[in-house]
Amino acid sequence: MLKDVVRTRSYQNVITQNNFLFKDKIVLDVGAGTGILSLFCAKAGAKHVYAIECSQMADMAKEIVKTNGFSEVITVIKGKVEEIELPVPKVDVIISEWMGYFLLFENMLDTVLFARDKWLADDGVVLPDKASLHLTAIEDAEYKEDKIEFWNNVYGFDMSCIKKQAMMEPLVDTVDQNQIVTNCQLLKIGLNPFVYLIYVFQTMDISKMSSGDASFTVPFKLVAERNDFIHALVAYFNVSFTKCHKLMGFSTGPRSKSTHWKQTVLYLEDVVTICEGETLSGSMTVANNKKNPRDIDITLKYAINGNRCKVSRTQHYKMR
């Protein structure tokens, strides 16, 4: 993770360029890992940093903190956020790198929200404080052939039943920006850790959503920027730190420098023949799987009523 330069440099820049957020403040680092974010905060002048990490890495973090001479400022606590005790009643800043693939897959957001509700001071800051999910459509003839159509003829045998399963698995992979056929659309989901609930919809009542309820349905309209074929939709997320002196953040989209989150590719049953200016519209429904809440079920409805292609279909995916 440390070798994901986009991610780590973004956090580093946020912290070192915005000392005012950290100077003499109490900071809580949720899921501290090696302690790198805590070290940045300590160096930026934090009064004290509590670095919580439940894995064996906590022992390394302790040693790293000591080696680098920050034992007085950083306290590494090995344990689960939901179970540990903090020696202070309130913290001024909660920092965390909680995002999963597709933003939501195996993420630590609930843990961050738990920490926020329990310990964040009324005028406290959560970093990052905004995250958004985006969707675009790509041409991907070559890879769809490799990854999906492959199963039609495997060394002479028909394994198309596996193809059905492969189609249902969102693929975490790096997409070349030249593959993008349509505009990129922000799905109307917003993360706002200052209100009680996570997902801010156009049409939903924020005050009634609970933090664990990561299910939502959002419409999309993607407009083709050229004549091309569409083989897949691609989801990615952006993260922002709006409490900085000026807006900071990073994108995991195909037009930005690649991160370990890459993008999430959802292959379509149809090859959509789309003309410049035509619209592929539909909706995306995301929900935690009822049986295995760590899995994410995605339902995609898409339709085009174009000059050369008329399609309307519903597809189901499962991230696990």
Binding positions for its own copies, rule: CB under 8 A: 2-3, 8-9, 12, 34, 36, 39-40, 43, 60, 63-64, 67-68, 150, 154-162, 165
Please return the burial class of 122, using the count of CB atoms within 10 Å of its CB with bins 0-12, 13-18 and 19+. exposed
**Residue closer to its own copies (CB basis): 70 or 101:** 70
DSSP state of 130: E
Residue-level length of the chain = 320
Q: Give the H/E segment covering residue 5.
A: helix 5-16
Which residue, 5 or 88, has its beta carbon nearer to its own copies? Answer: 5
Q: Which two tokens stand for residue 72?
A: 């007085």
User: Which lies closer to its own copies via its Cβ, residue 16 or residue 314?
Assistant: 16
Whether the Cβ atoms of residue 308 and residue 244 lie closer than 8 Å to each other: no
Please, how many CA atoms are within 13 Å of residue 167, restricted to the half-sphere of its CB?
Answer: 20
Task: Burial-class residue 219 by CB neighbours within 10 Å (0-12, 13-18, 19+).
Answer: middle
Minimum gap (Å) between residue 121 Cβ and its own copies: 28
Annotated catalytic residue within 82, 83, 85, 97 = 97
Closest approach, Cβ 295 to its own copies, in A, equals: 14
Phi and psi based region of residue 24 (left: phi greater than 0; alpha: psi -120 to 50; beta: remaining): left
Residue 106 a catalytic site member? yes
| Rounded least distance, CB 60 to its own copies, Å | 6
145 tagged catalytic: no
User: Measured from the CB atom, is 121 or 168 closer to its own copies?
Assistant: 168
- Work out how close the CB of 131 gets to its own copies at its nearest, in angstroms, rounded to a whole number: 23
Catalytic residue among 63, 83, 85, 106: 106
Q: Could you give the residue numbers annotated as active site?
A: 97, 106
